């Protein structure tokens, strides 16, 4: 059995620079991972059987991005191997933390290995786009400045502070935010170097605050303690701190009923740190034989 993490991502900034004819938006964003997220285990199964436990509330199994990723891999490679997959879900859905995309990416990477398919990272990332805009960055596993519709990556190494992430109890539908006429779509295109010397913002934040006053209220509260912003299209917000203790102190004061977590920013995805450990175990057991 193989157990692997599916970490959350944060959009350290998110700037929308235009809208294409197909309705997709051109954007500039800086992705960083955190060492907190879902966890998946994979065991081989015969006859192409795919079983996911437990089911996610409100998501039929065939719509779950984990099963979609596994089926996509089967159909693209003609593999008739199967898997029993167990999901420990920790990330809120519709929170802008990319949980579904991360689950899908971990599934692509894990099954490629379990089924010995030999696809390259580029091939897996290419497959991932069909599942969601954020899947490729999770497959590549490196903090990155993304442009285009979020599909052109430049590796980046922002500071790796401690984050307090707060999750208002609501789901934001990404498509609804991108389709709202009030979304600003004309931000200036900057180089990564210019971004590193400019205050960061999220172009979706004002709109989400307007549509969801709970987000506005919580962000107002968090800003009292540290620089804070929304991730992706929300609803989660995050603040950065110099130490775990400082972030935990603020979490302890969070308004009643607000869920959140403290995690470290990581420029290498915890998925790849876990895979590197598996490689070490594999090579030492080969030596033993
Ligand atoms: C905004 C981000 O969260 C940044 O990380 C992501 O790009 C969104 O990623 P996601 O939730 O995986 O989104 P997808 O499922 O691919 O797209 C959901 C919807 O968002 C809109 N969408 C998404 C990405 C993009 N560059 N332009 C868009 O207009 C489209 O209406 C699309 O139908
Ligand atoms: N394994 C999965 N985990 C979470 N959501 C899933 C999964 N499979 C399908 N979904 C669907 O995807 C939707 C978006 O979930 P997700 O957690 O990726 O949102 P998000 O964090 O807002 O993503 P993003 O930051 O990419 O916009 C959910 O509302 C759910 O219907």
Give the closest ligand to the alpha carbon of residue 172. 2
**What six digits make up the tokens of 109?**
């990477």
Stretch 199-209: mean pLDDT, rounded?
98
9 is an active site residue? yes
Residue 288 has pLDDT above 60, yes or no: no
Q: What is the pLDDT of residue 283?
A: 73
Above 70 in pLDDT, residue 229? yes
Counting atoms of ligand 2 from 1, which one is nearest the CA of 173? 22
Question: What is the CATH class of 1-289?
Answer: alpha beta
Are 149 and 20 within 8 A, CB to CB? yes
Catalytically annotated residue among 38, 68, 103, 134? 134
Q: Is 102 in the pocket of ligand 2 (CB under 6 A)?
A: no
pTM of the model as a whole? 0.95
Give percent above pLDDT 70 in the chain. 98
Concatenating the DSSP letter of every residue in the chain gives -EEEEEEEEEEEEEEEEEE-TTSPEEEEEEEEEEEEEEEEEEEEESTT-EEEESPBTTB-GGGSHHHHHHHHHHHHHT---EEEEEEE--SPTTSSS-HHHHHHHHHHHHHHHHTT----HHHHHHHHHTT-TTHHHHHHTB-EEEETTTTEEEE------EEEEEE-S----HHHHHH-TTS---PPP--HHHHHTS---BTTHHHHHHH-HHHHHHHHHHHTTS-EEE-TTSS-EEEEESSHHHHHHHHHTSPTT-EEEEEEEESB-HHHHHHHHHHHHHHHHHHH-
pLDDT of residue 237: 98
Q: Mind listing the pLDDT tens digit for each residue in 3-36?
A: 999 999 999 999 999 999 999 999 999 999 999 9
The residue among 196, 36, 197 whose CA lies nearest residue 102 is 36
For 84-106, how does the pLDDT look when each residue is reduced to its tens digit (9 = 90+)? 999 999 999 999 999 999 999 99
Is the pLDDT reported for residue 278 higher than 90?
A: no
CB of 66 closer than 6 angstroms to any ligand 2 atom: yes
Cα(283) to centroid(ligand 1), Å? 39
- Whether the pLDDT of residue 287 is over 80: the answer is no
């Amino acid at each position: 059995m193989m157990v692997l993490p599916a970490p959350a991502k944060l959009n350290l900034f998110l700037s929308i620079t235009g809208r294409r004819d197909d309705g997709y938006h051109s954007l500039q964003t800086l992705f960083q991972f955190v060492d907190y997220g879902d966890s998946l285990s994979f065991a081989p199964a015969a006859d192409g059987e795919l079983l996911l436990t437990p089911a996610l509330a409100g998501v039929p199994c065939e719509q779950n991005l984990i099963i979609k990723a596994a089926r996509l891999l089967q159909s693209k490679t003609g593999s008739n191997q199967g898997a029993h997959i167990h999901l420990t879900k920790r990330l809120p859905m519709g929170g802008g933390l990319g949980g579904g995309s991360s689950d899908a990416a971990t599934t692509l990477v894990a099954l490629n290995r379990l089924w010995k398919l030999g696809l390259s990272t580029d091939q897996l990332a290419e497959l991932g786009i069909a599942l969601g805009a954020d899947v490729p960055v999770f497959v590549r596993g490196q903090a990155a400045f993304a442009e285009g519709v979020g599909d052109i990556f430049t590796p980046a190494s922002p500071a790796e502070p401690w984050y307090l992430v707060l999750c208002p109890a609501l789901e934001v539908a990404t498509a609804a935010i991108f389709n709202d006429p009030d979304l600003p779509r004309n931000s200036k295109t900057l180089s990564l170097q210019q971004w590193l010397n400019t205050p960061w913002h999220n172009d979706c934040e004002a709109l989400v605050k307007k549509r969801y006053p709970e987000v506005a209220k919580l962000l107002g509260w968090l800003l009292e303690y540290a620089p804070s912003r929304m991730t992706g299209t929300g609803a989660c917000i995050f603040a950065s701190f110099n130490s775990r203790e400082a972030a935990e102190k603020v979490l302890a004061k969070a308004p009643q009923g607000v869920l959140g977590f403290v995690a470290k920013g990581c420029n290498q995805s915890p998925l790849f740190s876990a895979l590197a450990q598996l490689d070490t175990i594999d090579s030492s057991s080969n030596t033993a034989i």
